[in-house]
Structure 1
Amino acid sequence: MEINHKIKDQITGFIAANSLVLIVMAITKYFLPPFGGGNVIIFSEFVILPFLMGIVSAWCWRKINISTRKQSAWTIYNTVIAIVLSFLVLKEGMICLVIVSPLLFAFILLGTYAGKAMFKRNNQTLNASVFVMLFGIFIADSLSVHRYENKVADTITVNAPPTEVWKYVVAYKRIEKKSDFWLFRMGMPSPVQSTAEGYYLGAKRKCIFSNGYVFDEKIVTYDENKDLTFDITNQPRDPEIMGHIDILRGQFLLKDNGNGTTRLTGNSWYRLYVFPVWYYDIWAESVTRNVHLRVMEHIKELAEAK
Structure 2
Amino acid sequence: MPSRTPQPLIVAIPLAFVFVMYAIFNDGISALFSVMGLAFIFGIPFGVGALTIYLSPRDKVESRSYRIMMPWVPVGIFFIFTLLFAMEGWACWLMILPLFLIAASAGGAMAGRLKLRDKNKQERRYVSLIVLLPFVISPIEQMIAKIPGQYKAYTYIDIHASKENIWKNVTRVGEIAATQDKGWFTRMLGFPRPIKAELNYEGVGAYRKAIFDKGLVFDEKVTAYNHQRSMSFTIHADPYNIPSTTMDEHVVIGGEYFDVLDGTYELEPLSNGNYRLHLYSHFKLHTTFNFYASWWASWIMKDIQNNILQVIRQRAESGLPKDRI
Give the TM-score range, shorter chain.
0.7 to 0.9
User: What's the counterpart of residue 108 of structure 2?
Assistant: 112
Mark the CA change 1:256 to 1:247 in structure 2 (over 3 Å): closer, same or farther: same
Equivalent residues of 1:6, 1:64 under 8 A apart: no
Mark the CA change 1:93 to 1:44 in structure 2 (over 3 Å): closer, same or farther: same
Residues 1:206 and 2:209 are matched in the alignment: yes
User: What's the counterpart of residue 42 of structure 1?
Assistant: 37
User: What's the counterpart of residue 49 of structure 2?
Assistant: 54
Mark the CA change 1:272 to 1:91 in structure 2 (over 3 Å): closer, same or farther: farther
Distance in structure 2 (CA, Å) of the matches to 1:159 and 1:90: 46
Percent identity over the alignment?
20
Which SS does the other structure have where 1:147 is aligned?
strand
User: What's the counterpart of residue 171 of structure 1?
Assistant: 172
- Unaligned runs of 5+ residues in structure 1 are none
Distance in structure 2 (CA, Å) of the matches to 1:51 and 1:265: 43
Distance in structure 1 (CA, Å) of the matches to 2:194 and 2:26: 35
User: What's the counterpart of residue 17 of structure 1?
Assistant: 17
Equivalent residues of 1:48, 1:138 under 8 A apart: no
Residues 1:101 and 2:104 are matched in the alignment: no
Instruction: Quote how far apart the aligned CAs of 1:17 are.
Output: 2.7
- Count of aligned pairs between the two proteins: 300
User: What's the counterpart of residue 323 of structure 2?
Assistant: none
Mark the CA change 1:205 to 1:109 in structure 2 (over 3 Å): closer, same or farther: same
Query: 1:134-156 deviations in whole A, cap 9, x for unaligned?
Result: 66544432222321220111122
Instruction: Quote how far apart the aligned CAs of 1:269 are.
Output: 1.0
Mark the CA change 1:266 to 1:100 in structure 2 (over 3 Å): closer, same or farther: same
Mark the CA change 1:199 to 1:181 in structure 2 (over 3 Å): closer, same or farther: same
Distance in structure 1 (CA, Å) of the matches to 2:84 and 2:201: 44
Residues 1:218 and 2:221 are matched in the alignment: yes
Which SS does the other structure have where 1:172 is aligned?
coil
With normalisation by structure 1, the TM-score equals 0.83
User: What's the counterpart of residue 289 of structure 1?
Assistant: 302
Distance in structure 2 (CA, Å) of the matches to 1:128 and 1:70: 21
- Unaligned runs of 5+ residues in structure 2 are 320-325
| Among candidates 296, 314, 323, match of residue 301 of structure 1 | 314
Query: 1:169-220 deviations in whole A, cap 9, x for unaligned?
Result: 1111122214262441463323232112222322221112233422222222
Mark the CA change 1:282 to 1:75 in structure 2 (over 3 Å): closer, same or farther: same
Which SS does the other structure have where 2:60 is aligned?
coil
With normalisation by structure 2, the TM-score equals 0.78
Instruction: Quote how far apart the aligned CAs of 1:229 are.
Output: 1.2
User: What's the counterpart of residue 233 of structure 2?
Assistant: 230
Distance in structure 2 (CA, Å) of the matches to 1:90 and 1:44: 23
Distance in structure 1 (CA, Å) of the matches to 2:183 and 2:261: 26
Equivalent residues of 2:48, 2:71 under 8 A apart: no
Query: 1:14-45 deviations in whole A, cap 9, x for unaligned?
Result: 33431342244146x3123687xxxx922322
User: What's the counterpart of residue 190 of structure 1?
Assistant: 193
Instruction: Quote how far apart the aligned CAs of 1:264 are.
Output: 1.0
Which SS does the other structure have where 2:174 is aligned?
coil
User: What's the counterpart of residue 72 of structure 2?
Assistant: 76
Equivalent residues of 1:152, 1:268 under 8 A apart: yes
Query: 1:115-148 deviations in whole A, cap 9, x for unaligned?
Result: 2222441346766776787665444322223212
Larger mean CA deviation between 61-70 and 290-299 belongs to 61-70
Q: What pairs with 1:271-286 in structure 2 (closer than 5 Å)?
A: 271-286=284-299
Equivalent residues of 1:164, 1:303 under 8 A apart: yes
Larger mean CA deviation between 83-92 and 204-213 belongs to 83-92
